[in-house]
Amino acid sequence: MKNALGRHILCEAYGCDPGVLNDRKIVENIMVEAALTAGAEVREVAFHKFSPQGVSGVVVISESHLTIHTWPELGYAAIDVFTCGDAVDPWNALDYLVKQLRATNTVSSEVKRGVMQHAMVRIS
């Protein structure tokens, strides 16, 4: 991660188990375990269950955060894992999440944060 302040992974997870995606407590537990599996230090946890369906939440870690927004009716979850420093690998957390959500397909990308090497940069 040379010259970057952090690594930010954005993941589109498809084919996830709708029952898992719609259960606030299960999603919360999976997210916390993902952070711990990656070696992160959990600081705060906040999750919300929507009516009639869906869960959104954040796990704040010393190294940054993990967030999720679910659409159980579509079997879809939008996930991001952002870690700073070299001690925690965000891919380890994401691999755990994807497995626990039972995703059948994912599209993920990593952005190096805090570096000015992106193709499009707007500075104001």
Tell me the two tokens of residue 118: 């992106």
Backbone phi and psi for residue 110, each to the nearest 5 degrees, phi listed first: -115, 135
Of 64, 65, 109, 118, catalytic? 64
Question: Would residue 64 show up in a list of annotated catalytic residues for this protein?
Answer: yes
How do beta strands 76-84 and 64-71 pair?
antiparallel
Of 8, 11, 65, 84, catalytic? 84
> Which residues, in sequence order, are CB contacts of 88 under 8 Å at separation 6+?
38, 39, 40, 61, 63
The answer to whether 90 touches 7, Cβ cutoff 8 Å, is yes
Of 69, 108, 109, 124, catalytic? 69
Question: Would residue 124 show up in a list of annotated catalytic residues for this protein?
Answer: no
Question: Would residue 11 show up in a list of annotated catalytic residues for this protein?
Answer: no
Q: Which residues are catalytically annotated? A: 64, 69, 84
